Amino acid sequence: MLHIGCHLSCSSGYLAMGRTALTIGADTFQFFTRNPRGGSVKAFDEQDARALCDFLAQHDFAPILAHAPYTLNACAADERIRDFARRTMREDLERLSHIPGAMLNFHPGSHVKQGAETGVKLIARMLDEVYTPDMPTTVLLETMAGKGSEVGRSFEELRAIMDAARVGDRLGVCLDTCHVFDGGYDIANRLEDVLDEFDRVVGLSRLRAIHINDSKNPLGSHKDRHEKIGQGHIGLDAMVRIINHPRLRNLPFYLETPNELDGYAREIALLRSAYREE
């Protein structure tokens, strides 16, 4: 079975997201741990988290994915911004320990003129400071489009973070199809080569989740503008190859396309109908 869901708003609570996911044909979902552009967060409702866990088990959901706020920048030049990243990550991991099936995805950061090498070191240091062995959550580095000074624009940069952190062997990767395409990896025409390269540099066993998005811009544009499935430069044929690929087909897929719920429901139905059961 294809494991697929989309990004949902957490404003009505945890259990409400599970219920919403079910109504649009999803068996997983992604949500922001807090306000994505700020960082403010509601009080944690442990009972609601427990109700969600029961719901996920009852309906055979695939692992759900929490997304850290965009404002989290572990490799900022400003110490106060790095401190916010540290505190946010620590608190989010603490909360997610109450939802043991969830993974936490984050954008590695932007090095803002310090250089990628310094960026990698700062990101690894932040992870070592907050990600303790008792935490059940798997933390995922997201592949980035290479906009501005984003770290994680190449498979090598993700590998470098894993190598630099003591907790590196616990880290996974979330591959965003729009981002890697914008980053110059031609998953539309050379999927096999890109996966071989990922395997060689990072290791396919590290790949734990896929953000499935089309791109408004051509290969290598470094823009990061998501498009609806089949309406962008990656195209529907490539999307169908991706969800059916033997090395990807069992991973959870998360849509972050520009849609409301009805649009997500249609994309989920479209991809489910294109999935070949074995």
Chain residues that interact with Zn ion, rule: CB under 5 A: 224
Q: What secondary structure letter does DSSP report for 135?
A: -
Q: How far is the CB of 235 from Fe ion (least distance, A)?
A: 18
In the complex with Fe ion, the residue whose CB is nearer, 116 or 212, is 212
In the complex with Fe ion, the residue whose CB is nearer, 92 or 176, is 176
Q: How far is the CB of 142 from Fe ion (least distance, A)?
A: 5
In the complex with Zn ion, the residue whose CB is nearer, 92 or 214, is 214
Q: How far apart are CA 141 and CA 200, in angstroms?
A: 17
Q: How far is the CB of 70 from Zn ion (least distance, A)?
A: 9
Nearest residue to Zn ion, using CB?
224
Beta partners for residue 172, in sequence order: 140
Q: How far is the CB of 1 from Zn ion (least distance, A)?
A: 26
Which residues form the interface with Fe ion (CB under 5 A)? 142, 176, 211
Closest CA to 102 of 41, 207, 29: 29
Provide φ and ψ at 199, rounded to 5°.
Answer: -65, -45
Q: How far is the CB of 123 from Zn ion (least distance, A)?
A: 18
Handedness of CA 141, 144, 150, 153 (dihedral sign): positive
Rounded to a whole number of angstroms, the distance between the first and last alpha carbons of the chain is 9
Q: At what angle do helices 14-23 and 46-58 cross, to 10 degrees?
A: 30
Tell me which of Zn ion, Fe ion, none is bound by residue 27, counting a contact when its beta carbon lies within the kind-specific cut-off of 5 to 8 angstroms: none
In the complex with Zn ion, the residue whose CB is nearer, 27 or 142, is 142
**Alpha carbon separation from 24 to 3, 19, 101, 252 (Å, rounded):** 13, 9, 21, 16
In the complex with Fe ion, the residue whose CB is nearer, 142 or 150, is 142
Q: Which residues contact 43 (CB under 8 A, 6 or more apart)?
A: none
- Residue 138's SS3 state is strand
In the complex with Zn ion, the residue whose CB is nearer, 88 or 257, is 257
Closest CA to 18 of 54, 55, 65: 55
In the complex with Fe ion, the residue whose CB is nearer, 157 or 176, is 176
Tell me which of Zn ion, Fe ion, none is bound by residue 224, counting a contact when its beta carbon lies within the kind-specific cut-off of 5 to 8 angstroms: Zn ion
Tell me which of Zn ion, Fe ion, none is bound by residue 92, counting a contact when its beta carbon lies within the kind-specific cut-off of 5 to 8 angstroms: none
Q: How far is the CB of 50 from Fe ion (least distance, A)?
A: 27
Tell me which of Fe ion, Zn ion, none is bound by residue 211, counting a contact when its beta carbon lies within the kind-specific cut-off of 5 to 8 angstroms: Fe ion
Q: Is 166 exposed, middle or buried (0-12, 13-18, 19+ CB in 10 A)?
A: exposed
Write out the two tokens for 228: 């609806």
Q: How far is the CB of 51 from Fe ion (least distance, A)?
A: 27
Tell me which of Zn ion, Fe ion, none is bound by residue 267, counting a contact when its beta carbon lies within the kind-specific cut-off of 5 to 8 angstroms: none
